[in-house]
Structure formats: C-alpha cells, structure tokens
Amino acid sequence: MPQGQPLVVPNDGLTTKARRNAPILAVHTGPGKGKSTAAFGMALRAWNQGFDIAVFQFVKSAKWKVGEEAAFQTLGRLHDEQGVGGPVQWHKMGSGWSWTRRQGSDEDHAAAAVEGWAEISRRLAAEQHDFYVLDEFTYPLKWGWLDIDEVVTTLTERPGTQHVVITGRDAPPQLLDAADLVTEMTKVKHPMDAGRKGQRGIEW
Amino acid sequence: MPQGQPLVVPNDGLTTKARRNAPILAVHTGPGKGKSTAAFGMALRAWNQGFDIAVFQFVKSAKWKVGEEAAFQTLGRLHDEQGVGGPVQWHKMGSGWSWTRRQGSDEDHAAAAVEGWAEISRRLAAEQHDFYVLDEFTYPLKWGWLDIDEVVTTLTERPGTQHVVITGRDAPPQLLDAADLVTEMTKVKHPMDAGRKGQRGIEW
C-alpha cells in the first residue's frame, strides 16, 4: 500500500487539508477480474466511515452481484437500526430502476441507461450521497447510449466532496482523462479458462 | 463479468458440480491499487454466503486497513449475534498475532511472518476456515522469510474446499503457476502522483 507520501506537492494554492478532502473520481477498467469487487471493497470502507453509499448497477447482470447486494442491504439495515456505518441504497437497471417503482422488464436498455444517468446527475447536483458506485457504467458509454462529453462534464463539475467509482471494460479515453484514479485489471489467469464454472461464495 | 461459459471443458473426469466446488487459490498482484480491496470484496461476498472467513495481514501497515477491519469485525458480530452471514476472524502481524495474545512490537518481522504462516498451515490442515485472505503475503515470500516451495506445496495440497486469496506486489512465479486465478492490478493514474494525500473513506 502507498505510505501516503505524494511524489510531488502541487502548486495549486490548496492546503493539504483541502487537497485531502478533494473528491475522488475513480475508474476500474481492463479485462481482468476485480473491477467491481474492488469498487465494493472501497464502498465497504466508506460505509465504515459513515458515508452515505449509493450503488447504481448498469447492464442486466443482476445474477452476478446478488452477494454484494445482500451484504450491502445488510449493512444499510445495520445503519438504519443501530446507527453503525452509513446508509446504503442499491439501484439496478435490470428490472426497472428502484426509484421508479416500475417493475418488470426494461425492453429498451438504452432508454433505461439514459434514465439512470439522469437520476444520478440530479443526485450529484443535489449532493445526495457521499459515495457512488456506477457499476458497469462504461458499457452504456461504449455503446453510445450516453453522451460521453456530457457525462464527463457532469462528473468533473459535480459539487461538494462526492466520491464516484466507475467500473467496466473499455473505459473511454475522455473518462480516463477526467479521472483522479485509474486502475486497470489485467487477466493473467482465470479458472474459467481451465473449464471451471462460477461457484457460490466466489462468483456470487 | 464473465457469463459463466467455460472456454473449454476439461477432460479431468470431474463432474461440473465437482469442478464447481473446486477450491480457488487466487492471487492479486501488480503495482496498481485494488489488490487488497478486491480481496476484501471477495471476502464480503463469501461472508454473505455464510462462509467462515479468516484474514491474516502480513507486513506492518495496520493504519491502512482499519476501515476493512472495523467493517469485518462488525460483520462477524452480526453473524455471532444474529446468525447473518459467516463468522469472521482478523489477525494481524503488526503488533503480535491475535492468537498468540502476546501484544507489543514484533522486533523480528521475519520470525513473526514464519509464525503466522505456521499457524495458517495448521489451520489449512485442519480445514478450520472456508475463505482465507493472506493480505500482503507476497512480501515475506519476496524477502525470503518463507520458503516458497514449502508454501506452494502446502497451498496446493490443502484438503477440502478452502478458498485462499493472496495479495501483494511481485508475486513469485511459482505462486502464479500454482494459482487458479491471477489478476494483475496496473496503476494507470493515481491521485498521489498529483500531490494528493490519502483520505478518510477512500484510503482507510
């Protein structure tokens, strides 16, 4: 782990404290595993600090994140009932966004992505949460469902100290340019290459 | 996320179910962030499935993992008091391993690493836990404090269905060869390069 020693001290007129509180825009990309898992690990740490957590799952792959969702719903209840950690909201695109209360299939995935991003934009403007996970958000960008320039502008001009972590393969260059922290997960070896299937407690 | 379709079906005489339950040895290495965070994210998922979790932190960097430790201690209490998730143990080398009850400084870090690994070996032989995180375990290997061949043999010959995740830079080639899943985290961009310091809820 880094020992907290910056390589350079920027001439930006900010105090160390101001710089320390600067909100982070992080991107986990690349073909390897651990992009979402590391984002949820960050969210766990933020939850422990009492941060208000909101997860937005783009792309219909609900099956793969039920473990994280259940764990974070448990953590959110722990906050609500015992005041431990921070509050948690978990929204997913797969069967209609939670806040819309429309359940059922989203036939038009592009429209659902646009709707999800519009809600996130409103929440960022309102400084509604402290820590956002936009899971697999690179795909609607890659597929052209969202305007990358508008997304980057909204993210970089977000008010306050809201942290945002975005995951997914093939993050667009504009997003990487805008990010404070970019980690690429590279697949070196994967058990599915050896014919294994996903398993309980490991994949979900 | 992978969609669960193996590229090949191995001719190993195992049923899909047997292969599905095969224990995973995972290594998160490379210079980027997210190695430990992704391991703790995996542990969170395993906890949610009711797995018995044990974390062993090698290398004295306790300051950086207090958020994870506090969160997992909370999860462990949740199991003990309400039967939710799995039990959690968290052991760290920094101030004497928890099970030794000797507190205070470990002047001889190499001896502490040897002691930690001996205990892990015993627990693996006894199938004491379901999911082990050996955090920053690559360093005592890299520094020659532990015998890599002995470690790899113990890991690959461990009985039952115990999952092990090892984190740290510069994982030795023998360990990568033995692992089922290897992910390399590559640093593309890091806020400390721009003079930022670590911050609450993000770094700890």
> Is a pLDDT exceeding 90 seen at residue B172?
yes
Instruction: Identify which of A73, A71, A30, A41 has the alpha carbon closest to the alpha carbon of residue A165.
Output: A41
- Count the Cβ atoms, other than its own, within 10 Å of residue A71: 24
- Assign A113 a pLDDT band (cuts: 50, 70, 90): very high
Interface test with A, best of B136, B196, B203 (most A CBs within 10 A): B196
Per-residue pLDDT, B20: 56
B199: buried, middle or exposed (CB in 10 Å: 19+, 13-18, 0-12)? buried
Chain A nearest-CA distance from B54, in A, is 14
Q: What is the mean pLDDT of chain B?
A: 84
Q: What is the mean pLDDT of chain A?
A: 84
Euclidean distance between the first and the last CA atom of chain B, given in angstroms as a whole number: 27
> Is a pLDDT exceeding 60 seen at residue A18?
no
> Is a pLDDT exceeding 60 seen at residue A19?
no
Q: Which of A103-112, A187-196, B86-95, B154-163 has the lowest mean pLDDT?
A: A187-196
Per-residue pLDDT, B26: 95
ipTM rounded to 2 decimals: 0.73
Per-residue pLDDT, A2: 45
Chain A residues within 8 A of B164 when measuring between CB atoms = none
Interval B31-56 mean pLDDT: 92
- The predicted model scores a pTM of 0.80
Chain B nearest-CA distance from A103, in A, is 24
More confident residue, A170 or A106: A170
Per-residue pLDDT, B1: 39
Q: Any idea how long chain B is?
A: 204
pLDDT tens digits for range A50-67: 999 999 999 866 556 788
pLDDT tens digits for range B93-142: 877 888 876 655 556 888 999 999 999 999 999 999 999 999 999 999 99
> Is a pLDDT exceeding 60 seen at residue B4?
no
Per-residue pLDDT, B22: 77
Per-residue pLDDT, B2: 45
Of A19, A61, A191, the CB nearest to B195: A19
Chain A nearest-CA distance from B150, in A, is 22
Question: What are the residues whose beta carbons fall under 8 Å from the beta carbon of A31, sequence distance 6 or more?
Answer: A169, A185, A186, A187
